[in-house]
Amino acid sequence: MAEPPERDPFPEFRLDSDAGATFVLESKGKWWHAGFHLTTAIVGPTILTLPYAFRGLGWGLGFLCLTVLGCVTFYSYYLMSKVLEHCEKAGRRHIRFRELAADVLGSGWMFYFVIFIQTAINTGVGIGAILLAGECLKIMYENLSPNGSLKLYEFIAMVTVVMIVLSQLPSFHSLRHINFASLLCLGYTFLMVGACINAGLSKNAPPRDYSLEPSGSSRVFSAFTSISIIAAIFGNGILPEIQATLAPPATGKMVKGLLMCYTVALLTFYSAAVSGYWVFGNNSNSNILKSLMPDEGPSLAPTIVLGLAVVFVLLQLLAIGLVYSQVAYEIMEKQSADVKQGMFSKRNLIPRLILRSLYVIFCGFMAAMLPFFGDISGVVGAIGFIPLDFILPMLLYNMTYKPSRSTLTYWINLSIIIVFTGVGIMGSFSSIRKLVLDANKFKLFSSDVVD
């Protein structure tokens, strides 16, 4: 059992002197609200990237990695919820990942390490959500007006404006109704699966090639990049913040939320990966909707089906962008005790509006300038989600509960830490390598997303 620190190493972050955090992370939610938040954070339109991830793995290894990473993340999030409950019972309730890590591990540098990782994740997800939303709008536009003159960056600008408006919703808890849209992933996934099956059985079905890279080294790099993408798809960098939205006591509620989330994940991840990779194989795009609408030849799916799927994707992308930006807003809006009157006071409304707007504009600008959706997913997965979701939770659990070295739990946790430390290092190298190689394929503010 971890002993409480003798002194508070971060007094400025205490709940009683942290009006901004208390306001942003209101603790009023039910378990199904946590389920909505978790589903939004994990089961998002990045599932449209799964067939692309299978390109570097093939059928057998693709299924294995998808299953293993799913099991490990569920186990990881369960352990983290137990650590959070343990700390709360000991009188140390944590509403931030970084404070939990600093408390349990007893190291000040860990606090700032987690801030860095969370910032990388939140910014990467924010950029990716805006980029994918802009691409979806472009797909719809090109289908309605094939000779239209609007470019990708113009659609990204439109999405950015909408996100600026929605970013003014004050708290995580206030997103619970918007995050109900996370269940729309069932809608667009089944639409996409139906469209892929229809395309695979049609007379215009594309040729299928499931072969891997001919070079051994290229095959290894592609495999680790694909694993990093799947890690990003399963990743959730804000679980403590989500658990903090639950009305106390939180015991057992997060497990129900996780079961709800992973039920949806089971239905969507496997069906999207199988149907998309079956039809397009090594020609799978980082956005499978784009594969269904090739630049040359007829569309492989009815326009109404693709249009409805795009609408569902857009709605959930807005929810995802809002969920992950909450942690960034909370960091920017950390308030001291003298402003407990609330974030909507005249004194704080304008700074909040400016800070949130600038953050969204930055994400939108980066999405328009550097349109690398698949590559961004790989880098964020390797550098952000793997250490945060596949390594730290096991370490936190072992440090908190101190299981005996003779127990299976201890060795399972240690094995996961060792294996995914290696995977994270290799994934970071291979993902950044691919990003550098793909840099030759685009120009700034390109109208096409680079795969």
The CATH code for residues 23-441 is 1.20.1740.10
- How far is residue 84 CA from its own chain's centroid? 21
Sequential DSSP letters for 350-403 = HHHHHHHHHHHHHHHHHHHH---HHHHHHHHIIIIIIIIIIIHHHHHHHHHH--
Domain boundaries, the chain: 23-441
Alpha-carbon gap, residue 316 to 293, rounded angstroms? 21
Cβ count near 338 (within 10 Å) = 9
- Identify the helix (H) or strand (E) that includes residue 153: helix 152-166
Write down the pTM of the prediction. Answer: 0.81
Pair of tokens at residue 275: 């149907």
Alpha-carbon gap, residue 328 to 349, rounded angstroms? 17
Pair of tokens at residue 11: 């007094």
Per-residue pLDDT tens listing for the chain (451 residues): 444 444 444 444 444 444 445 444 556 778 888 888 888 888 888 888 899 999 999 999 999 999 999 999 999 999 999 998 888 888 887 777 888 888 888 767 777 888 888 888 888 888 888 888 888 888 888 877 878 888 888 999 999 999 888 887 766 656 666 666 667 677 888 899 999 999 998 888 888 899 888 888 889 999 998 999 899 889 887 788 788 878 777 667 888 999 999 999 989 999 999 999 999 999 898 888 888 887 677 788 888 888 888 888 888 888 788 878 877 777 776 643 334 444 444 445 666 778 888 888 998 888 888 776 666 777 888 888 888 889 999 999 999 999 999 899 999 999 999 999 999 999 889 888 887 777 676 666 676 666 6
